[in-house]
Structure 1
Amino acid sequence: MELAVRAAAPSCSSSPSLHPPRVPCRLGRSPGLPLPARRVALAAAAFALDPFQEIKTELNDASKTEVFACPVCYEPLIRTGPPGMNLPAIYRSGFKCSKCNKSFTSKDVFLDLTVTSGMKEYSELKPARTELFRSPLVSFLYERGWRQNFNRSGFPGRDEEFQMAQDYFQSVAGGILVDVSCGSGLFSRKFASSGAYSAVIALDFSENMLRQCYDYIKQEETPMNTNLALVRADISRLPFASCSIDAIHAGAAIHCWPSPSNAIAEISRVLKPGGVFVATTFLSTPTNSGPLSIDALRPLRQIVGPVNSSYNFFTEGELEDLCRSCGLINYSSKVQRSFIMFSGQKP
């Protein structure tokens, strides 16, 4: 156990907040106690002397779904409050990084794990295609007509897309799934209700999308103790420990991301070995990309992109190259007109 190791190991720091006071030598050297018993005694004494050990022990004994990490330094967050990944437990909990001392709360209906969380003076704007979805109006309309229009481009619809994704995720059933750029939780809620995962994290940068997701959860009478958490985070700075997530889903999202390469590199970082990434998007066509859909003109995006606020659309070859360059293997895809669902796996 971490507690026993820390109590027995010598400390290089004098900070009382990070290390317990020294235990009297006679406790660890008592000739009447065998080595295992001496370690237990050391651990018990350290626990009694260090109030922070209560938190650490709770983390050790908590559900394996405790995967949140600091978006600044990626160190695991210390959690105070009830364990669990459901909405009431997250809402009543506080989170703090033991390394950089940054605190995170869920004072709203979601847990804000962005780098800018808690800042009072500094504000940061994303590209227009990202900021659009932070609008209350767009968040309200997303499931009330906006998403349904994707059918014109070949998207098969919510139920079929969900089942297609589930087929890709069969090998990681029972694990933790993160629905990145979840929007109003169109698929997050279905993943959570399916019971196929130990926990589902609905993650988006838009505060209003997460609020809409919460409203839908209440309207659908989804039990509040369902293993579903709402988290605000940046796709290029995922607040999870490396190799901690089993499955990641990104529905109709990659064309909105400021830097798809940074995002997929982050996805690759947090996936466990064998973990699966599944995403859908629009393939580049003359309709949505104009002349830039022609292979010979694709390099011009480097010139046009910085002054163009429209979405980024890719060819299938580009998507496969992107996944492979970020360390994902076993790439596969399904295409229907300009709709594509593609998948990669962490080796």
Structure 2
Amino acid sequence: MKRSLVQEQFGVSASDYASSAVHARGPSLQRLVDVVAAQSTCRALDVATGAGHTALAFAPLVAHVVASDITDEMLAETARLAVERGLANVETAKADASKLPFEDSSFDLVTCRLAAHHFPDPGAFVAESWRVLRPGGTFALVDNVSPDEAMLPLATPAEVMNAARAFNIYEKTRDPSHARALTVDEWHSLMQRSGLAVASSELLDQHIPFESWTQRMRCTPETVEVLRSMLFDDDLLRTFLRPREENGGLVFTLQEAIIVAKKPG
């Protein structure tokens, strides 16, 4: 079977994501764990687990975690890290986020962190998450979000829309498997449409070192220069991403949404 673009992109960089500071130790990971406050009897599913950082963070706190992903190499990294950390309650499973191969009402918690912007159908992903959750279960999402009116208060609605388009072009230039980063309101709407009730929603700054960000996707020197120019040439994109020099390197800031929702009991 032909591999998808996501599988191609992340298959070759699986070990890089296993050691990526943003994914392994980014502030949104601990914040997600704190906000969810998982119970020790919980059966959890982490969708698009990548190298398993979110699944492994929850594993000591819950009864069992299924770490699912569409990419075999990522699942191998997750299994390796679980063994390395002595976590015996982590199971890996190959799964498409829009067609989860799990029974209805089989999990108390479904998480997904820093992956949903790759999904071609985020609505199907949310609906599937609702389906596999037990009544009273928790859905917890962390993802980069596009700018909205609240983030760019001096911009017109048309300018905000253009800034969101520029941001997604910027992301896709670096990583062709990027689909689209939704806005916070779009995520809320998808959850509510699927029957989930949003319990909490917050934004968190994620400071991204430009060099390692491009290296993880093995960008060519030409692509790196295009990305560097994009950061500074578009006024609204520059306002949103706040590029600057820190400690001798280029850094910009993404907005990560942390949204927790409940399936009615």
**Counterpart of 1:63?**
none
Greater strand proportion = 2
Q: 2:93 is matched with which residue?
A: 231
- Alignment of 1:333 with 2:250, yes or no, is no
Q: CA deviation at 1:150?
A: 9.5
Question: Which residue of structure 1 aligns with residue 259 of structure 2?
Answer: 342
Alpha-carbon distance change, 242 to 144 in structure 1, aligned in 2, over 3 angstroms: same
Number of matched residues? 201
Larger radius of gyration: 1
CA deviations 1:192-235 (Å, max 9, x no partner) are: 123xx221111111100011112222333x05xx2221111111
The equivalent position to 2:11 in structure 1, one of 134, 138, 152, is 134
Q: Tell whether 2:72 aligns with 1:217.
A: no
Q: CA deviation at 1:130?
A: 5.1
In structure 2, the CA distance between the partners of 1:244 and 1:157, relative to structure 1 (3 Å rule), is closer
The partner residue of 1:156 within 27, 32, 40 is: 27
Deviations 1:253-305 (A, max 9, x none): 1111121111111001111111100011111149xxxxx9944459989xx9x
Q: Which segments of 5 or more consecutive residues in structure 1 lack a partner in the other structure?
A: 1-122, 287-291
Partner of 2:43: 176
- Shift of the 232–336 alpha-carbon distance from structure 1 to 2, 3 Å rule, reads same
Structure-2 separation of matches of 1:174 and 1:317: 32
- Distance in structure 2 (CA, Å) of the matches to 1:339 and 1:293: 23
Q: Which residue of 2 aligns with 1:282?
A: 144
Report if aligned partners of 2:147, 2:163 keep a CA contact under 8 Å in 1. Answer: no
Letter in 2 for 1:174: T
CA distance in 2 between partners of 1:268 and 1:132 (Å): 28
Q: In angstroms, what is the RMSD of aligned CA positions?
A: 3.1
Q: 1:293 to 1:203 in 2, by over 3 A?
A: farther
TM-score, normalised to structure 2's length?
Answer: 0.66
Structure 2 segments unaligned to the other structure (5+ residues)? 149-156, 170-175, 206-254
Residue deviations 1:16-57 (CA, integer Å, cap 9, x gap): xxxxxxxxxxxxxxxxxxxxxxxxxxxxxxxxxxxxxxxxxx
TM-score scaled to structure 1, two decimals? 0.51
Letter of the 1:175 counterpart: C
Q: How does 1:72-87 map to 2 (within 5 A)?
A: none
Q: 3-state SS of the aligned residue for 2:27?
A: coil
- Cα distance in 2 for residues equivalent to 1:139 and 1:125: 15
Indicate the larger mover: 185-194 or 263-272.
Answer: 185-194
Match of 2:235 in 1: none
Match of 2:243 in 1: none
Distance of aligned partners of 1:293 and 1:324 in 2 relative to their CA distance in 1, 3 Å threshold: farther
Q: What does the per-residue CA deviation read over 1:94-114, in whole Å, with 9 as the maximum and x for residues that have no partner?
A: xxxxxxxxxxxxxxxxxxxxx
Match of 2:229 in 1: none
Aligned partner of 2:47: which letter? V
What amino acid maps onto 1:319 in structure 2? W
Partner of residue 243, structure 1? 105
Q: Find the residue that maps to 2:53 and give its secondary structure.
A: coil
Distance 1:309 1:201, change over 3 A: closer
> What is the rounded CA distance, in whole Å, between the counterparts of 2:23 and 2:127 in structure 1?
30
| Contact map agreement 1:245 1:275 (CA 8 A) in 2 | yes
Counterpart Cα distance in 2 of 1:293 and 1:165:
36
Change (3 A) 1:144 1:125: same
For the residues of structure 2 that align with 1:324 and 1:150, how far apart are their CA atoms? 30
Q: Say whether residues 1:314 and 2:182 are aligned partners.
A: yes
Q: 1:300 to 1:148 in 2, by over 3 A?
A: closer
Identity %: 24
Runs of 4+ in 1 over 6 A off after TM superposition: 298-301
Q: State the alpha-carbon separation in 1 of the partners of residues 42 and 158 from structure 2.
A: 38
